[in-house]
Structure 1
Amino acid sequence: MDCRLGCGACCVAPSISSPIPGMQRKPAGVRCIQLNDENLCSLFGKAERPKVCHQFKACPVICGTTTQQALDNITELENIT
């Protein structure tokens, strides 16, 4: 599955404990500072992008068919881990 451009759910719903330029830690439910107005990662393809972000791959089970489904699914995973 290709990532839905402009979704941004993976940049909002999960917590990210590794440093992100401009943020020491990203709490769950907080929009990443690197997510631009079009909901695209401004670090995509750059070395500064956290490893956890680079390793995330979109898939139908996690991302569903809409941004809201992706937010709900990732939030649920965040809550149970």
Structure 2
Amino acid sequence: MMCREGCGACCIAPSISSPIPGMPQGKPAGQRCVQLNADNLCQLFGRPERPAVCGGFQADPEVCGESTEQAIQLIGWWEAMTSVA
């Protein structure tokens, strides 16, 4: 599956523990990444500053669903199911 351009769910729903320019402590789940622009495109895409975890994300119907809204729900669910309390 190819990413849906302008979706941005993977930059909103999951937590990211790696430092991100502008977010040195990473980002909590459900918070919009500061590098996500108004068109929901990553401003770090293809740049070395982009965290490896972001570059390694692979779109998949089980994770992304059929819409941005579904992707946010599904990624949020996966986040909750895999988080260590």
Give TM-score, length-normalised by structure 2: 0.93
The size of the alignment, in residue pairs, is 81
**1:69 to 2:70 alignment:** yes
Q: Which 5+ residue runs of structure 2 have no aligned equivalent?
A: none
Once residues 20 and 74 of structure 1 are traced to their aligned partners in structure 2, the CA distance between those partners, rounded to angstroms, is: 19
Deviations 1:35-59 (Å, cap 9, x if unpaired)? 0000000000000000000000111
Matches within 5 A, 1:20-59: 20-24=20-24, 25-59=26-60
Determine helix, strand or coil for the equivalent of 2:10: helix
Q: Which amino acid aligns with 2:14?
A: P
C-alpha displacement of 1:60: 0.9
Q: Which amino acid aligns with 1:73?
A: L
Question: Deviating runs (4+, > 4 A) in structure 1?
Answer: none
**1:13 to 2:2 alignment:** no
Q: Which 5+ residue runs of structure 1 have no aligned equivalent?
A: none
Q: Which amino acid aligns with 1:71?
A: I
Once residues 20 and 63 of structure 2 are traced to their aligned partners in structure 1, the CA distance between those partners, rounded to angstroms, is: 23
- Give aligned-pair identity as a percent: 63
Once residues 79 and 10 of structure 1 are traced to their aligned partners in structure 2, the CA distance between those partners, rounded to angstroms, is: 14
C-alpha displacement of 1:80: 1.0
Instruction: Please tell me the root mean square deviation across aligned C-alpha atoms, in Å.
Output: 0.5
C-alpha displacement of 1:61: 1.0
